[in-house]
Amino acid sequence: MGLFSKKQTDIPRRRMENADGSNRSVLSDNFRRNRNLNGLASASSAESPRIKVHHLSIKRRKLSVVLLGSLLVVALLAFLICHFTATVSVSFTNQGFVKTADESKYQKVIQDYLDSNPLGRLYFLLDESGLNKYVAGELTEVESVVQNTMVGFGMTEFKVTLRNPVASWKINKDQYYVDAEGVAFRVNYFADPIVRVVDNSGASLKAGQASISKRFLGFVGQVVSLSNANGYTVSEAELPTNTTRQLNIRLKNTNLLVKMTIDRSAEEQVSDMGRAVEYFNTNNRIPTYIDVRVDNKVFYI
């Protein structure tokens, strides 16, 4: 029996049990280890193209964002340049000038305002209220300034409206003009108004500010227009001494003086004046003046 028995030491090492008593052989462990390593290597080589595609996609998105941002910046700069006022062009809205208006004078004043307010050179940031206040302070004959449109690269057109006088006003040999809003100014490009206001009231008058009151100037305008409509031409309007609520007008053809008040309707007073003039003409009488300040009564001398 001893001849056919094998020693324990003759058993191959790969058949020996592990130290922990398991039946797994060293060869089996090596096989599994190699298989796992080969599997990991194969998986790594299989994912590599997808990772490359992913990285390329990220780079593509970054480049797209940079390109889009650059285009937006260029578009913004182009927009700002196209709406930037470097030079000024002026045109007038009024018609009927009898004198040539000097455009350069108005261009310079607008440019001076833009120099003091550089943000206003951007078309959409201009403060038109501030511009009007500044220009009217420098040039009292300007009624309004409106930014119109871009007429060229870096050039903006401004529409200027000048005051049209309804009466001329002379104080201490200084000639003023008054528009329908009751604002006095010195430079007039229109024909001189027929109505001359003789101021004996003692009230002060300053160019660029409302003279006496807008109500008074509105009353003067109504009296003049209603008189013309009824066939009477007003040649002169006078403010009596120490009052700004009464008005004396003189009719052109008859040189008749008519006393009125702003506290009563201009239409009613003109109507009373017309009836009184007809009465005196019918009776061949020429009074020194007539007074229509009292309702339905006419006083005369």
Give the confidence band of 15 by pLDDT, cuts at 50, 70, 90: very low
Q: Cβ atoms within 10 A of the Cβ of 223, count?
A: 24
Answer CATH for 165-300 from 2.60.40.3140, 3.40.50.10420, 3.40.50.11690, 3.40.50.2000 = 3.40.50.11690
pLDDT in tens, 63-98: 888 888 888 888 887 777 888 999 999 999 999 999
Give the confidence band of 40 by pLDDT, cuts at 50, 70, 90: very low
What pLDDT sits at residue 274?
Answer: 93
Amino acid at residue number 289: Y
Output the pTM of the full model. Answer: 0.63
Domain boundaries, the chain: 25-82, 87-162, 165-300
| C-alpha angle 57-58-61 in degrees, rounded to nearest 5 | 85
CA distance 180 to 86: 35
What pLDDT sits at residue 188?
Answer: 96
Burial of 158 (0-12, 13-18, 19+ CB in 10 A): buried
Give the confidence band of 214 by pLDDT, cuts at 50, 70, 90: low
User: Which is more confidently placed, 23 or 179?
Assistant: 179
- For tokens 């101021």, name the residue: 199
